Chains A and B, each alone.
Chain A
Amino acid sequence: MGSGVWVYIDHFKGNGLAASWEAISVAKSVASQLDTSVTVLVFGHQTDELVSEVATYVSDTIIVCDDHTMEDFRIEPYGALAAKLYQNYKPHIILLPATTRGRDLSAFLSIDLGVAVVADCTDVNIEEGCTQVTRPVYAGKLNARISLDNLHPQIISLRPRAFPKVGECDGMAEIIEVEPVMTESDIMVKVLDYTAADYDVSLVDANIVVSGGRGVGGPDGFDPVRELASVLGASVGASRAAVDSGWIPYDHQVGQTGKTVSPDLYIACGISGAIQHQAGMRTSKIIVAINKDVEAPIMKLAHYGVVADLFDFLPIFTAELKSRFEK
């Protein structure tokens, strides 16, 4: 059995995702309990700034592959390099953010290294030297506890926003530069271009989410929801009913067949709170429900309820916040 805790840094065009910094904080905590070191993997192209940022959090080792073939995340070159590095160093634990890219890389490693992956964990503990994790199953309706004793290595992906952000540290990390293992001509997948989403903050990373449901009544009904979100610096979410009605694109959908979010503050506007919607937002720290119907299921889940028409309440609430922030 090897030693050492590895963290894969997920980033988009050199911007590290918040979930990557959370993963480093888990790695540091686990490594100190196991009395071992933390190694961070940074794959990409023109990664200097990203590596400098990582170095403010980690004082042990950073393995960097900076190459044009690694510019976009692609499973083949990323997976092949991660698997080769594993064989060279044999770490005990590999942590990845449970993002689209983190999940894909973990799936590759699972097959390549012949070991199960524990996906989307919300808790990681070391008990008497053994790793114990908790992960939500059945869309967060239940939790599964899993003991990882028989897994070598232990590959764990971590749900975004389930863990604290890492603190800065002193010391100079050792940087090891490595070469990619595939050449461009061997890579079957080509990335052609990107279209940026119509939001600034990804729903999954947002501290605050303001969501609209059936009660917004139409595409224009999202205007007061967006205005509130803009004053709060929040992301805009939606229930399935609003998405299926074509009032807002699918990438805003929160719930069982949409995104799972866990913000500090979730404001549900005109959302009744079907069990499928709750599955995607129930772990939010504070939930506010604005709904005409006091009997709506969301009122059972919410911390604060406002029984009102959202079109009456939201503009006044938004104005109140604006004046508070201006003070």
Chain B
Amino acid sequence: MHNLVCIKHTPDSAATMFVENGLVSWGDAPMVVNPWDEYAIEEALRAKDKFGGSVTVLTMGPESSKEALKTAIAMGCDHGILISEESMESYDARITSLVIARAIEKLDNVQIVFFGKQAIDGDTGLVPMSVAHGLGWTGFSYVAELSGIDVENAHISLVRLLEEGKQSCSGKLPAVISVVKEINEPRYPSFVGIRKASKAEVEVLTLDDLELDDKITSDNNGSLTWSEIQEIPRKSTDAELLDGPNMNSIAAQLVEKLVEDKVI
């Protein structure tokens, strides 16, 4: 079976973000594979281990995003595709989804498209289910367990993690799924994988190659831009440290403070 993983190159989750000349900056913090996407890569590789076939990994972004693809190839993905275009920096979740859906249509016989549940930069979580609807495929978000894949009958069953607990459901292939952390423990790139990735050729697609509809890429079509980025005001003082002759005295003080603050 041929499966696809869609990933994003994002600033490291430990990066301190700030605003410089009105633009988002993360200083010299490294760029990494979006942490949620590691679980998507792992799940796609597990499907390959079980059913054979191949895994293609796709990302959208500047040339430097190839690094994310190489990480995925080092983990075991077979083939990398970069959708590259300078103007893409400003694409919102909907346009991104339409471009990815178009790229998927051009790929051969994809059965499952895996996403992480969201990217840690834009944090919208919209792209996976938007791609599903764009393709007219079944979409499952927040998947915590892939319980069954029946390639012959084009059927998939899985468990989703919702606010209230876990939901078991099933549907038809091809499907688009987004995964949560609970689904697996991602593998580390192997030594052999890293060597393979260093030599791997990444396929580069431009928007022209995808033959997109003009209205998708034209500027004023219900697209979204961040008009202003603000830093979150930092708390200027450290915690008020509660102290006393014994634990009982500190506990009583803390209860008093929380009652005064009307939070208990």
Contacts and interface: CB of A to CB of B under 8 A. Distances in A.
B263 to A, nearest CB: 4
B35 to A, nearest CB: 5
Given A79-B133, A139-B120, A115 B222 contact: yes
Nearest to A116: B224
A140 B230 CA distance: 11
Interface stretch (B78-86, B106-114, B191-199, B235-243): B235-243
Contact of B255 (A116, A275, A303, A320): A320
A75 B139 contact: yes
Contacts of A108: 129-130, 133
A195 B141 CA distance: 17
B64 interface: no
Interface string B125-169: 111111011100011111010000000000001001111111111
B170 A190 contact: yes
Nearest to B261: A286
A188 B138 contact: yes
Contacts of B63: none
Contact of A275 (B16, B130, B169, B172): B16
Interface stretch (A49-57, A60-68, A215-223, A257-265): A257-265
Contacts of B264: 208, 232, 265, 321
Interface stretch (B40-48, B54-62, B92-100, B201-209): B92-100
Interface in A268-288: 274-276, 279, 282, 285-286, 288
A143 interface: yes
Interface stretch (B1-9, B65-73, B245-253): B245-253
Contact of A202 (B95, B164, B167, B172): B164
Contacts, number: 258
Centre residue among A100, A134, A145 by max chain B CB count within 10 A: A100
A244 to B, nearest CB: 9
Centre residue among A104, A114, A202, A264 by max chain B CB count within 10 A: A104
Contacts of A279: 13
Nearest to B125: A103
A305 B240 contact: yes
Main secondary structure of the interface of B (DSSP, over half): mixed
Contacts of A38: none
A286 B258 contact: yes
A100 B163 CA distance: 7
B159 to A, nearest CB: 8
Contact of A324 (B93, B224, B255, B261): B255
Contacts of A116: 92-95, 222-224
Nearest to B147: A192
Interface stretch (A29-37, A146-154, A162-170): A146-154
Interface in A113-131: 114-120
A196 interface: yes
Contact of A294 (B123, B241, B261): B241
B140 A189 contact: yes
A1 interface: no
A89 interface: no
B14 A111 contact: no
B212 interface: no
A303 B140 contact: no
Contacts of B11: 138
Given A139-B13, A204-B163, A304-B239, A119 B125 contact: yes
Interface in A36-89: 72, 75, 79
A299 interface: yes
Interface string A180-204: 0000000011111111110000101
B169 A190 contact: yes
Given A17-B163, A75-B129, A120 B123 contact: yes
Contact of B250 (A282, A303, A313): A313
Contact of A117 (B16, B94, B163): B94
A142 B130 contact: no
A137 to B, nearest CB: 6
A282 B233 CA distance: 11
A143 B232 contact: yes
B104 to A, nearest CB: 14
Nearest to A325: B264
B240 A303 contact: yes
Given A300-B238, A308-B247, A188 B130 contact: no
A152 B222 contact: yes
Contacts of A75: 129, 132-133, 139
Contacts of A250: 144, 161, 180-182
Contact of B235 (A110, A142, A301): A301
B95 to A, nearest CB: 8
A313 B170 contact: no
Nearest to A199: B165
A116 B224 CA distance: 6
User: 5 nearest interchain CB pairs?
Assistant: A305-B239, A115-B222, A107-B129, A116-B224, A302-B239
Interface of A: 12, 17, 72, 75, 79, 99-101, 103-104, 106-108, 110-112, 114-120, 134, 136-147, 150-152, 188-197, 202, 204-205, 207-208, 232, 249-251, 253, 256-258, 264-265, 274-276, 279, 282, 285-286, 288-289, 294, 299-308, 312-313, 316-317, 319-321, 324
